[in-house]
Amino acid sequence: MSAELPHIPLLVPGIESSATSVTVSAPWDLTPIATVARADSATVEKALANAYALYRNRDAWLPMRERVQILTRAMGIMRERREKMATDAAREGGKPLADSLIEVDRAIDSVHICIDELRSRAGEVIPMCITESSKNRVAFTRPEPVGVVVAVSAFNHPLNLIAHQVAPAVATGCPVIVKPADKTALSCLSFVQILREAGLPPEWCQAVVTADRKDATAMVTDERVGFFSFIGSAKVGWTLRSQLAPGTRCALEHGGAAPVIVTEGADLDRAVPSLAKGGFYHAGQVCVSVQRVFTPKAMAREFATRLADAAKKMKVGDPTLADTEIGPLITPGEVDRVHQWVEEAKAAGAEVLCGGEKLTDTAYKPTVLLNPPADAKVSVQEIFGPVVCVYGYDDMDEAIDRANSLPFSFQAAVFGQDIDKLMRVSSRLDASAVMVNDHTAFRVDWMPFAGLKQSGHGVGGVPHSMHEMQIQKMTVIHSPEIKD
């Protein structure tokens, strides 16, 4: 059967790989979709050599006007293929079609943001002629590419995560090598092919699906890498960071266990639908998914019951269908893990208000737990599944302390109507961003997006990634004709 599947060839010019291909399957029904050529160690070396040779040859750098033209054409191609790209992403990644359409739109906008940044980004003039030693001088900076970018990405947003890593590299003039998640490689490879179709020379953006983790590590830690962009598990990301070559910059984006504080007097008609979306969107497989909701004890049961009622109405099913709201988890093993965590919390005293069981081998019912123990896995680790925990509190500051008690810090949220309470919670939560009367998973692609503590390093978001992928080279001109 696999011989009849579409095959995506190696996207590294000038070499053939001896590694066996990998099959990408749909997480909903485990049906094979396509096979993808994988890179062996020689392929990885060739990709690095291609990219580094471009970076070292300044005469070969792509002028900004050409980069703008390429990205503009790429946007046009993506708009023409919007529905197909969304369906393909939904099928390989499991995110429902309605949300995958939004993801494609975001990816297109991410490319647009790169173009806007190029039109507006410039260096600065450094003051001179202020002291005797600085007289007769003028100084200014201009942005230059930092070097070869190696990007390693996660499965959960198979197109837009890639756009966030690759488009800024192309925009800033950095040769880029991207390694997508094996399970969702197709959207990445499609994006790379679109860039090439839009006129980007192949060596400027290469994609590798490695056959061996050692090869991936060797690529990331190579001394020719100028910038490493990683989206994925904390364990892998922090380990790779510790092995980077001296001088390699990096940005790491991991997960968390996003907290929400619901204050007394909050509008539950507004809060419940928002938190249901933020908790069960993409079956909870989002790094800032709503996970821990702290409410006043007197309203905890009412809130949790209303959240459970909302969850029960959400349709779980085939992600390629237009009316599906929650799709599968990425693998059956993840379904088993989530169920085990829920069962452990239940045995320790958590009350299961809805869900708590497998729908199929690949999908889990959206689950609301009331007052799981503080030391349960669902309370202290990232669930990355369709499970939301609700806890009652007596004192708001105590709830803030509980929200801040984990070694993760990413986005958080607070709901209420008392501006003083909202500001108190917002200013005291450990978070890089606090959403007021909105769920923790809100994001637009031009805003900064940063994990703190164990949740990440550096700042993401398209403009911020572009900044990280550039250096500001200063030029100082000395001339007696410069008087002031």
Q: Any idea which residues carry the catalytic annotation? A: 253, 287
Q: β-strands 351-354, 367-370: how paired? A: antiparallel
Strands 148-152 and 176-179 turn out to be parallel
Q: At what angle do helices 185-197 and 82-93 cross, to 10 degrees?
A: 150
The distance of Cα 39 from the centroid of its chain, to the nearest Å, equals 24
Report the C-alpha gap between 80 and 392 in whole angstroms.
49
Residues in contact with 207: Cβ distance below 8 Å, sequence separation at least 6, in sequence order: 11, 12, 177, 178, 179, 180, 185, 188, 189, 192
Identity (one letter) of the amino acid at 314? M
Residue 404 buriedness (CB in 10 A; 0-12 / 13-18 / 19+): middle
Largest CA distance in the chain: 81
Compute the distance between CA of residue 319 and CA of residue 158 in angstroms, rounded to an integer: 14
Q: Which residue has the tokens 């173009």?
A: 115
Tokens of 455: 């949740």
Phi, psi angles (nearest 5°) of residue 418: -90, 110
Strands of the sheet containing 387-393, edge to edge, are 351-354, 367-370, 387-393, 290-296, 258-262, 411-415, 433-436
Q: Are strands 290-296 and 258-262 parallel, antiparallel or unpaired?
A: parallel
